[in-house]
Amino acid sequence: MVSRRGFLKLSAATSAAAFLATRARFLRGALAAQGTALPGSAIPQFVDPLPLLSVAGGPMETIIADTSEIELHMREFQANVMPSTFVPASGSYTGTWVWGYIVGTDAPTTALGTYLGPVIVATRNQPTQIRFVNNLTTNNIAWRDWTDQTLHWADPLGGEMNMCNHSIVPGQLPDETCNTHYSGPVPAVPHLHGGEVPPVLDGGPDAWFTSDGLYHGHGYYTKAGAATNEAIYRYPNTMEAAPIWFHDHLLGGTRLNVYAGLAGAYPIIDPGLSLPTGLHPVGLQQGADGPVSFLIPMVLQDRMFDTNGQLFFPNTGINPEHPYWIPEFVGDTIVVNGKVWPFLNVEPRR
């Protein structure tokens, strides 16, 4: 017969072993670490053209939504973010590792022209159904170096306990566990920013789901038919025409997931609008034959990079209770449409 104390010790040891085995399994293949920060002033400016929409011959995919389902996969891939003349500290530059929403099931095999997008053009009063699939990995992006488990966050492995007021490993002090970077499956959740949608479709911070499909936030929702690492949202699009967007909304990790690249555009157009002559409700063309280049969207973001052209995020905390968290981030490099300091040739007129 095992005594109560012996049973508790045995249970603690078993739980600890199970956790450590799980943690080790997640750490394998997740060895990417950020390098040395590169001053933004050292990066050449105005070398490459501004990435444009695909309808204008650019790399930012444009989708005119209809009644069919759109399938977007959140993935880790390379994008040509740095100028074409950039020379890394070691090796050759083959792209910056980022996260993004990829249309369809095929993973990119070469560096893309941008990590932003897609641009989903929705029509007012015509619902759009999107299947979001979480296939995020951290094999090359330094996302894990940016996490700080001492903050209030999703905390999948700790059962949403958050803020180090729990001990994941029985018998181990909470601060010893929480002062390490997160090593579990990547959580994410899409949010339609500015959308008038039912609460379950809002993609709230607690509606996250992990890349392995084993963990879900208590606010997780999906339309029927989704796998465990998916969420299907059917947006009603009943609101007025608006240039809104979608992005990741993870509790305590929005700053990291959007920094990694998870953002796209979602303009809602109203064909019934009365517009001046020459304007089109979609905004992708002007008049009968006019060039699409009249409308050029620009998404401005501040970023930092390391000497090899990879994303760099400061992770030396100013408070010992939060070892990796900084209260404010201001990047020293401007990225427009997913490209560092591009240029745009325009005609000399209004």
Residues 49 and 57: beta-carbon distance below 8 Å: no
Mind listing the pLDDT tens digit for each residue in 37-54?
999 999 999 999 999 988
Q: Give the dihedral sign, CA 118/124/126/128.
A: positive
Ordered per-residue pLDDT tens for the chain, 350 residues: 444 444 334 444 444 444 334 444 344 344 678 999 999 999 999 999 999 988 888 999 999 999 999 999 999 999 999 999 999 999 999 999 999 999 999 999 999 999 999 999 999 999 999 999 999 999 999 999 999 998 899 999 988 887 665 444 555 444 566 778 999 999 999 999 999 999 999 999 999 999 999 999 999 999 999 999 999 999 999 999 999 999 999 999 999 999 999 999 999 999 888 877 766 666 665 444 554 445 788 999 999 999 999 999 999 988 888 889 999 999 999 999 999 999 999 878 76
User: Do the domain assignments include residue 91?
Assistant: yes
User: Do the domain assignments include residue 14?
Assistant: no
Backbone angles phi, psi at 258, to 5 degrees: -75, -35
User: Do the domain assignments include residue 18?
Assistant: no
User: Do the domain assignments include residue 145?
Assistant: yes
Mind listing the pLDDT tens digit for each residue in 220-260?
999 999 999 999 999 999 999 999 999 999 999 999 999 99
What pTM, to 2 d.p., does this model score? Answer: 0.86
User: Do the domain assignments include residue 12?
Assistant: no
User: Do the domain assignments include residue 149?
Assistant: yes
Q: What is the 3-state secondary structure (H, E, C) of 49-106?
A: ECCCEHHHCCCECEEECCCCCEEEEEEEEEECCCCCCCCCCCCCCCCEEEEEEEECCC
* Domain assignment of residue 327, given as a range: 23-340
- Tally of domains in the chain: 1
User: Do the domain assignments include residue 138?
Assistant: yes
Beta pairing partners, 60 = 53
CATH number of the structural domain spanning residue 50: 2.60.40.420
User: Do the domain assignments include residue 325?
Assistant: yes
